[in-house]
Amino acid sequence: MTTHKTIDAATARAQYAALAGHYRAIGPAAILAALVCMPKKGVKGAGPAKA
């Protein structure tokens, strides 16, 4: 019974490896696109505070 589960798990990993790699690459691109498309704030002196 354990061997059957191991074979099923190996088959599932092999089938979805390419798909998982594809979606892993979308994450950083989506974050970058969201940051680029954010509206700019027009507040003066909004930079980092100086100590």
What is the arithmetic mean of pLDDT over 20-48?
74
Identify the CA nearest to 15 among candidates 3, 7, 26, 4.
7
pLDDT confidence of residue 27? 79
Measured distance CA(51)–CA(31) in Å, rounded:
30
pLDDT in tens, 11-25: 888 888 867 776 766
